[in-house]
Amino acid sequence: MGTTCRAIFLALALLICGGEGICRAEEPPASGGTQSTASSPFLIGEDVVFRFRVNSGNHTPDERVLSATRKIDKALRGGSSEVRVVAMGGAASVHVGPDVVLVLSQADAQAEGREDLSELAEEVATRTRRAIKREKNRRTVAERVLGASGVVFFGILGLLLIQLVGRLSRSASRWVTNKGESLRAVRLGAIELLPATASREGLRIAIFAGAWLVRAGIAYSWILAALSLFATTRPLVGRAAGYLFTPAIDLLGRLASRLPLVLALFLALLVVISVIRFVTLYAVAVQKGEIESDWLRPETARITGTLLAFFTCLLALLFVTPLLTGDSDGSLTRVGLLGLGALALAATPLLASCVLGARVVYGGMVVQGGRVEYGGQKGVVANIGLFDLMLSTDDGARIRVPHLMSLWHVTRVFPAGGESGRPEGNP
């Protein structure tokens, strides 16, 4: 078992580090003097490009191999890989891109048993081209295999993390459901801002939303990791991360620059919530008879409290927000204006009934005690209001008919003797 594990770790190390040691030199015995029978092979991948046998100036064959290896590694990491031969007096150099990789002298040709140095240089250049091409193909395949393995590995890790987040969120939800009685109401002094049941539901919703947010973050991280594993998609990582984090960083910067304003808005929000909560609880207490009020009846207390809470919120948006922000055309102010516009739009039928009622009151066609057919209903006029007309029917019932209904139905005013007679028009 231990041998198998060591073999697996060794294979992984070779796979990960295989792209780093592309070009390597074998360690020959140390050579002394200007020439040695031992050779130092210069390899690109598995291909032997040239065997250095003689010194070049003060450089030994091993040093020449090390210098050539460094320059080839640089070319294979993304530089130009064009190979050419340049003759320099009594020597010939093999260039890979802008760098001189090999400098061959006549002594190198003689050590190889060659008379023509240029022929030897061209042969070395041909081997270099072939070895570079083969090594690039091998490196591309290794990078793709390693990238695909990384995508699968990070995908499995992401799925395990998502499952773990799901289990933790379900456990937290079960705890809130089973032992949520320990969660108390949110209070500001003696004022209950949030009941205990609402706080439990809010915590459960927060757990659910947080779990999905963490899952989305894990999936997004897996996408970024997968893109970073391939050379063609690696430039997209910065842009993909910028799309997510740049707006958040900009928002945090703006919030930091307006921190006093944010604190003032937060305090104002607490005050408005406290006022709304107080008005609502006061109205409920009056409705239940716990508090006696001279200006509020128990029958109308709940509706009055709701209306006061609505108008408090509307006035806060219209007046408090511009006062704190100094901007009369801000987003919160626009919300208040939209609420005021919606209220005006909702009050349109009521205002139309008021206009029609004024016409009926001052027109004199419908009088109290007369028998009429108004808004599709028949009866004796018991009362003429500004918004509606009250009729008494033959069976003793009373009907309130909004004046707005007279726009869709014919109005008939009957003579005192009965319902026969000519219709007298629609007021």
Q: How confident is the model at residue 12 (pLDDT cuts 50, 70, 90)?
A: very low
Residue found by looking up tokens 């927000």 in the block: 321
Instruction: Kindly state whether residues 283 and 316 are assigned to the same domain.
Output: yes
Q: How confident is the model at residue 20 (pLDDT cuts 50, 70, 90)?
A: very low
For residue 388, the domain's CATH number is: 2.30.30.60
**The pLDDT value given to residue 214:** 92
Query: Which of 83, 110, 141 finishes a domain?
Result: 141
Instruction: Kindly state whether residues 372 and 355 are assigned to the same domain.
Output: yes
**Six-digit token pair at 254?**
């703006």
Residue 297 phi/psi, 5° resolution? -85, 150
Residue 170 maps to a domain: no
Is pTM beyond 0.75? Reply is no
Q: Flag whether pLDDT at 380 surpasses 90.
A: yes
Round to whole Å and give the CA distance between 265 and 142. 58
Instruction: Kindly state whether residues 122 and 68 are assigned to the same domain.
Output: yes
Residue 113 phi/psi, 5° resolution? 75, 30
> How many alpha carbons lie under 13 Å from residue 210 in its C-beta half-sphere?
12
Q: How confident is the model at residue 360 (pLDDT cuts 50, 70, 90)?
A: confident
Closest CA to 51 of 112, 7, 110: 112
Which of these ranges, 83-92, 242-251, 319-328, 332-341, has the smallest mean pLDDT?
319-328
Q: How confident is the model at residue 26 (pLDDT cuts 50, 70, 90)?
A: very low
Instruction: Kindly state whether residues 366 and 334 are assigned to the same domain.
Output: no
Residue 403 is given by DSSP the state G
Q: Flag whether pLDDT at 8 surpasses 50.
A: no
Query: Which of 141, 171, 194 finishes a domain?
Result: 141
Which of these ranges, 218-232, 355-369, 392-406, 411-425, has the smallest mean pLDDT?
411-425
**The pLDDT value given to residue 156:** 92
Instruction: Kindly state whether residues 326 and 373 are assigned to the same domain.
Output: no
Residue 202 maps to a domain: no
Instruction: Kindly state whether residues 27 and 93 are assigned to the same domain.
Output: yes
Residue 185 maps to a domain: no
For the segment 273-315, what is each residue's pLDDT rounded down to a tens digit? Answer: 888 888 888 888 888 888 887 777 887 888 788 888 888 887 8
Instruction: Kindly state whether residues 334 and 402 are assigned to the same domain.
Output: no
Residue 286 maps to a domain: yes
**The pLDDT value given to residue 422:** 44
Query: Which of 345, 376, 398 finishes a domain?
Result: 345
Residue 76 maps to a domain: yes
Q: Flag whether pLDDT at 161 surpasses 60.
A: yes
Round to whole Å and give the CA distance between 80 and 135. 14
Residue 234 maps to a domain: no
Average of per-residue pLDDT values in the chain = 77
| Residue ranges of E strands in 224-358 | none
Residue 149 maps to a domain: no
Instruction: Kindly state whether residues 70 and 126 are assigned to the same domain.
Output: yes
Q: What is the mean pLDDT of residues 1-15?
A: 45
**Six-digit token pair at 61?**
């064959």
Instruction: Kindly state whether residues 117 and 43 are assigned to the same domain.
Output: yes
Instruction: Kindly state whether residues 335 and 373 are assigned to the same domain.
Output: no
Maximum mean pLDDT: which of 187-196, 204-213, 310-319, 348-357:
204-213
Instruction: Kindly state whether residues 313 and 390 are assigned to the same domain.
Output: no
Instruction: Kindly state whether residues 332 and 354 are assigned to the same domain.
Output: no
Round to whole Å and give the CA distance between 118 and 93. 10
**The pLDDT value given to residue 165:** 92
Residue 57 maps to a domain: yes
For the segment 51-97, what is each residue's pLDDT rounded down to a tens digit? Answer: 888 887 778 888 888 888 887 787 777 666 777 778 777 788 787 77
Q: How many domains does the chain have?
A: 3
Structural domain boundaries enclosing 73: 17-141
387 Cβ neighbours under 8 A, 6+ residues apart: 350, 353, 354, 357, 402, 403
For the segment 175-206, what is each residue's pLDDT rounded down to a tens digit? Answer: 887 776 666 766 655 556 667 677 777 888 88
